[in-house]
């Protein structure tokens, strides 16, 4: 997979703006305690090994948005996990969630192509014993009306990379999240964690690789550990994306 830059054209900006208004599923929520989800996009091998180790050391589980077509290959975040490694994640209690099979950009693809990619990905993960996939994240975070239309009935939640908190009125077909990525990723994520605690909201964090020398889209194990510790100390319920959705009746 090559590095990607979202469509910055006027057409692309208009498409994203219109998508915000279409095929909405408003979330109704009133939490006694804030919730947080630690998620990993694309399943780089380091996320599957080092990322999972950080969470498991604290008795926590994460959500892995997997593109099965990338398994065993390499990309900008290094090597991707094999399907055997991915199966082991599920066996350890982590959530396997859906990207598109080939990491297809849902922002610009047609609805039937998006549906076919999601189906192919689900079939590939089912073949290694993965449970039914309940959560989806748009590859590259890019979204469109056709994508929301064909995917909204298939998954409990559809997640973007638009920064924000899940709160009353949020769209389950276009949930916000916050990246732990780049040199200031930990500080940015910590700021959103504090906002989520104050507002008793649901914060979905995502990253990609987890290594001592992460890519521009990843973080270090130490940063992930500090965020997990802060969440536990702050009284958060740490949930997978699927469990968080179930808590909200989605």
212 DSSP 8-state letter: S
Kindly list the distances between the CA atom of residue 13 and the CA atoms of 16, 105, 109, 144, 147, in Å, as whole numbers in the listed order.
5, 15, 16, 11, 16
Among residues 233, 140, 219, the alpha carbon closest in space to that of 186 is found at 219
The predicted structure's pLDDT at residue 10: 61
Domain 10-19+31-247: assigned CATH number: 3.20.20.370
129 contacts 88 by C-beta, under 8 angstroms: no
The predicted structure's pLDDT at residue 123: 97
Q: Pairing relation of β-strands 35-41 and 237-238?
A: parallel
Predicted TM-score (pTM) of the model is: 0.94
DSSP string, 91-153: HTTPEEEE--TT---TTTS-HHHHHHHHHHHHHHHHTTTPPPP-EEE-GGG---HHHHHHHTT
Long-range contact pairs involving 98-101 (C-beta distance under 8 Å, separation at least 24): 98/65, 98/66, 98/122, 98/125, 98/133, 98/135, 98/136, 98/137, 98/155, 99/41, 99/42, 99/65, 99/66, 99/67, 99/136, 99/137, 99/139, 100/67, 100/139, 101/67, 101/68, 101/69
The predicted structure's pLDDT at residue 40: 98
Consecutive 10-residue averages of pLDDT for the chain (250 residues): 56 66 86 97 97 98 98 95 96 97 92 97 96 95 92 96 96 97 96 98 98 97 98 98 96
The predicted structure's pLDDT at residue 155: 98
For residues 96 and 204, what is the distance between their CA atoms, to the nearest angstrom? 15
The predicted structure's pLDDT at residue 141: 84
Joined together, the tokens standing for residue 234 give 């702050």
The predicted structure's pLDDT at residue 152: 95
Cα Rg of the chain (Å, integer): 17
Three-state DSSP string of 171-206: ECCCECCEECCCCCHHHHHHHHHHHHHHHCCEEEEE
Taking the domains of the chain in order of start, what are their residue ranges? 10-19+31-247
């Amino acid at each position: 997979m090559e590095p990607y830059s979202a469509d910055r054209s006027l057409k692309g900006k208009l498409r994203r703006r219109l998508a915000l208004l279409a095929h909405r599923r408003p979330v109704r929520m009133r939490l006694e305690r804030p919730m947080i989800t630690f998620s990993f996009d694309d399943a780089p091998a380091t996320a599957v090994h080092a990322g999972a180790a950080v969470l498991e050391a604290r008795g926590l589980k994460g959500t892995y948005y997997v593109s099965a077509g990338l398994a065993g290959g390499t990309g900008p975040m290094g090597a991707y996990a094999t399907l055997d490694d991915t199966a082991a994640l599920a066996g350890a209690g982590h959530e396997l969630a859906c990207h598109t099979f080939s990491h297809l950009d849902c922002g610009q693809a047609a609805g039937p192509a998006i549906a076919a990619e999601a189906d192919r990905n689900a079939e590939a993960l089912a073949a290694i014993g993965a449970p039914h996939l309940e959560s989806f994240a748009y590859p590259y975070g890019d979204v469109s009306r056709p994508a929301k239309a064909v995917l909204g009935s298939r998954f409990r939640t559809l997640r973007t990379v638009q920064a924000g908190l899940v709160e009353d009125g949020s769209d389950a077909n276009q949930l916000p999240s916050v990246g732990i990525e780049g040199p200031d990723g930990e500080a940015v994520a910590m700021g959103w964690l504090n906002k989520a605690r104050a507002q008793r909201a649901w914060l979905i964090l995502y990253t990609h690789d987890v290594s001592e020398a992460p890519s521009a889209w990843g973080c270090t194990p130490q940063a992930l550990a500090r965020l997990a510790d802060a969440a536990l100390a702050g009284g958060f319920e740490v949930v997978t994306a699927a469990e968080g959705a179930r808590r909200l009746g989605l």
